[in-house]
Structure 1
């Protein structure tokens, strides 16, 4: 597994929400934060704090992409026509590792990233090992033959807690087509995401 696997619920504890919608998340049992001061009465959060929290939650959901990568994605979104917050979500959902995760080829975003980096994913028939690659609409994403027999992949495909969204069209169990860039309302987030606050955070 990827290096983050041992701390995959850390974000949930910090946010007090089941960010990934996993049934074993510790916040299903206790909603207070981690550490010895986790149960202290929470003080009022400033506007900056609310914006920072929204940014950390969204960035964390996508597998803790680096701050540099995340900011570059925002800058690209802000230069595009239309709503910057919708553009940001669209760009994040176009990442190859996220489409692999949405296709249920992997149980977590970190496992999806590992599948890509180990060369198990093909885009339009060509092997691609760059997790952050932006996938074009109409592209076909295929799982390599060796990966189809992995226990990790079989586990992901049997997960009942999430479905393949409409904008990722499945063709059997080993191939999907990225049919369109989704809007915020179409993305199956287990918790509420507020990309408008992320836009405000970077626009300060």
Structure 2
């Protein structure tokens, strides 16, 4: 009986297999500020109406439009961030002062770290990275620091403070994201049963101990 109880408790502590989830935005053609798919919830932040969608992808502008500047990703429990696809759509920023008097001709496109990714846990920033979106579609893979998160943020950063860049229209850059892949951090396989199993084992051992104590010699 003791061996059986021990094996049960051991199995309860072993983690279940990790489950990967992917947000593809597929089948959604209208704009939403919140979208849930495959256990992942995406919430648009900081846009005029904070829409997270444009067609069947997530869309990020960096201000002055209805589209979000930041998309927040959450799941029911903790998760690790794996990867997402990044599709640059272009920019209106040029490497030039706003008065247009100190521009190099022809205009040169500005380059800055406009893609920012942040991992949060219990209100604390635990992982971050930034990079230029580039000119062609690519897949960004998160490193191991983006583990045990409760919130993932993907942002389109406008211009760095003090930059000699100029935006010709309302936004400086915009890009789409797709196939956001997160992996649920597995709980112990029988965690909900662990407490009841532990209590049951304690009661069994307690009664067995009392029975032995009361047995006449």
TM-score normalized by structure 2?
0.22
Q: Which structure: larger Rg?
A: 2
- TM-score of the aligned structures, taking structure 1 as reference length: 0.22
Q: Which has the higher helix share?
A: 1
